[in-house]
Copies of this chain bind each other. A is one copy, B any other.
Amino acid sequence: MTTIDDVARAAGVSVSTVSYALSGKRPISAATRARIERAVRELGYRPHAGARALASSRTNVLALMAPLRVDVNVGVIMQFVTGVVTRAREFQHDVLLLTQDDLAGVDRVAAGSMVDALIMMDVEAEDPRLPVLRAQRQPSVLIGLPRDPGGLSCVDLDFEAAARSAVDHLSQLGHRSIALVGSPQAVLDRHTTYAQRMVRGFESEARRVGAQAVFEPCESSHAGAVDAVDRVLDRLPEVTALVVHNEVALPAVLATLRERGLDIPRDISLVAVCPQDVATGQPQPLTAVDIPALTIGGVAVDMAMARLERDEPAETRLLAPVLTPRATSAPARA
């Protein structure tokens, strides 16, 4: 292993000069810097991460807790993760991956000084990890919105507004009977707030525009989708529009509607709440409110860095929804 000592010797300067040349924390003459850079290149020098962390109490690593179960929406999670990793790299940080259920992991990596900050996905209303996060000296950022952020930064899509904009869009097209096919019951029971915020926005906006509204949770499977659609048709036979907030069930929902003899958008309009690539990857491009997972992941990193580098206080950011009309929404028939 080549160390900073080797570099210093090769460049004919002291160790501290090398350190300052590489970090830029003190002025170094152009000539000296050049000699050092040359030595670094020729020796293939890489600072030892552990030594650096020990001396500077900065690790240049971020922890990311991701739900690695298969029941949740894998695609969206992957995008969050990608967003985090990509943006982290732009800040010279690497990402340590923890599983959602690894409560002890938070303490291990934070108290053990393995990371500079933590990012946590899929937060629940009363998430048991929150107190643990608050106990650490490193800042953390939540993707999602607990009941009480209390000192932790949060970022998420404004699902309430997303639901409202979906209902609004449909209402403006003349629809008066709208159903929400949502997250699985288990997700609601878990008090994952995005699901609840979605329902709240849906119901309040329907009330405001004077539309009939029913909400049905939907398991993330083919059978679950069939069930949910049938329950909707049963509870609200005059339904002319659907808001679907369940990427996994989406294809099955579409298929079931078709099987029930309903044409989209002739008989029934549909607005999905899902990532853009899911919306455009279906047999029919879906009118949808985008879930900008990549962006959200990136913003989470930005927020972590803001606290780290300029120790800005914790804040909550809710991203405004963007609805893109595509092929699946049309005026209600008179």
Residues of A within 8 A of B (CB): 1, 44, 46-54, 59, 61, 64, 68, 70, 74-75, 77-79, 81-82, 85-86, 89, 94-99, 102, 105, 107-109, 111-114, 221-222, 251-252, 255, 277, 281-283
A-B residue pairs, 9 tightest by C-beta: A50-B53, A46-B111, A68-B82, A50-B54, A50-B50, A49-B114, A97-B97, A46-B112, A49-B112
CA distance A26 to B283 in the complex (A): 65
Q: Which of B51, B75, B105, B281 contacts A222 (CB 8 A)?
A: B281
**What 9 new A-B contacts, CB under 8 Å, besides A85-B99, A94-B109?**
A48-B54, A49-B109, A50-B53, A68-B82, A74-B75, A86-B99, A89-B99, A222-B282, A252-B283
A196 to chain B, nearest CB (A): 25
Contacting pair A68 B64 (CB below 8 A): no
CA distance A10 to B215 in the complex (A): 59
Smallest Cβ-Cβ distance to A48: which chain B residue = B113
CA distance A281 to B78 in the complex (A): 20
CA distance A215 to B1 in the complex (A): 50
Q: Contacts of A251 on B, CB cut-off 8 Å?
A: 251
Could you name 24 residue pairs across A and B whose Cβ atoms are closer than 8 Å?
A44-B111, A46-B107, A49-B59, A49-B112, A49-B113, A49-B114, A50-B50, A50-B51, A50-B53, A50-B54, A50-B113, A53-B53, A61-B96, A64-B97, A68-B85, A70-B78, A70-B79, A70-B82, A70-B277, A74-B75, A94-B108, A95-B97, A97-B97, A222-B281
Contacting pair A96 B96 (CB below 8 A): yes
Q: Could you say how many copies of this chain the assembly holds?
A: 2
Of the listed residues A50, A51, A98, A281, the one surrounded by the most CB atoms of chain B closer than 10 A to its CB is A50
Q: Contacts of A77 on B, CB cut-off 8 Å?
A: 78
Smallest Cβ-Cβ distance to A282: which chain B residue = B222
Contacting pair A221 B85 (CB below 8 A): no
CA distance A250 to B111 in the complex (A): 45
Contacting pair B98 A94 (CB below 8 A): yes
A47 to chain B, nearest CB (A): 6
Contacting pair A99 B82 (CB below 8 A): yes
With A50-B49, A98-B94: A1-B113 Cβ-Cβ less than 8 Å: yes
CA distance A96 to B77 in the complex (A): 17
Smallest Cβ-Cβ distance to A102: which chain B residue = B89
A301 to chain B, nearest CB (A): 13
Contacting pair B48 A112 (CB below 8 A): yes
